[in-house]
Amino acid sequence: MNPQITSTQTGASEAASPTYPVGSDKVQVRNIGVLTSGGDAPGMNAAIRAVVRSALNYGLNVYGIYRGYHGLWRGDIQPLNGRSVSERLQRGGTFLMTARSETFKTPEGVAKGIAMAKVFNLDALVIIGGDGSIRGARDLALMGMPVVCIPGTIDNDVACTDYTIGYDTAMNTAMEAIDKLRDTASSHERCSVIEVMGREAGYIALNVGISCGAEVVLIPEQPHDFNRDVIKRLLECRNRGKTHYIVVTAEGAGSAVDIAYRIEEKTGISARATILGHLQRGGSPSARDRQMASIMGVRAVEILRSGQLNRIVAYKNGDVTDVDLLEGLKMTKTISMDAIRDSLIIAL
């Protein structure tokens, strides 16, 4: 779990929300389609594997939809069996592949996707992906296609769940890279500025920064004053006797290249920038991601069997549960100010 994360639901005073078509929650599910959408995340293959084998255990048919929503409306759909997902558990990425789809962003594209699902007699879809993918699932549900979503994104920014598939592996990948960079930073008495993924969310940056003892952590959720929060802090560390420094920035909080240049220009401390980029998405998933993906995959199939359609599988307070799709998308998630304060205290 991540105690730094809190989730809240927006107030009920909002304008009337859209609702699912009448009868869409009465579908008897026999044929399931599964797809991965958006950015790939370690553990997606484990989730697919769990969906397939759990469905087969209950006598259901499973179809793999290749290349996400793009493949859905194009009919890139094939049946899967137990052997289809053999030797997938330990592999990163997604063997179903993923792709952006401009067509699916339109109502006409969503309708095309539903029409193609009917061609293959799919009764419901299991969709594995992040916030954008879940919003795509909402569009399908509002047009009558039953769905269940599994949150999979390294950013951990799906509001209705404390944890998303791929987050743990991405943090460990970043942590290992920063540990190596600290070795060379200490040898040369340098400042290493590392940019991690997180255009709108700073969960990776904050937690990796704490794990690596970074002197400075910059995240999108917390505006910063460069002179106060970066320059002054590094100089205070130097004046206490430190000879090398780590700055971790989420991509949405600043460019590592720009930050390194400004540090060296203002302080004279030799600074080097490293952008970890898509390195964080790859690699064999951690034990935690494999386990969570597997449990969430089984839960998704159990939800479909129970008749509770249009749900998001979620990890809340130590339990795997589920929430209504529309309600889940109304929720918000923020980083605790206490976690930000703690990162500053222990890095001096």
For 75-103, letters b (16+ CB in 10 Å) and e give ebbeebeeebbeebbebbbbbbbbbebee
Three-state DSSP class for residue 35: strand
Within 8 A by CB and 6+ apart from 182, the residues are: 192, 212, 244, 246
User: Beta 124-129 vs 331-335: how paired, if at all?
Assistant: unpaired
Q: What is the dihedral of CA 206, 208, 209, 213, to 10 degrees?
A: 140
Q: Which of 40, 139, 155, 162 is catalytic?
A: 155
Q: Which of 266, 204, 184 is nearest to 230 (CA)?
A: 266
To the query of whether residue 155 is one of the catalytic residues in this protein, the response is yes
- 8-state DSSP, 251: T
- 8-state DSSP, 230: I
Residue 141 corresponds to which tokens in the numbers above?
């549900």
Task: Count Cα atoms within 13 angstroms, Cβ side, for 43.
Answer: 31
Residue 134 corresponds to which tokens in the numbers above?
């879940």
- 8-state DSSP, 91: -
Catalytic residue positions, numbered: 155
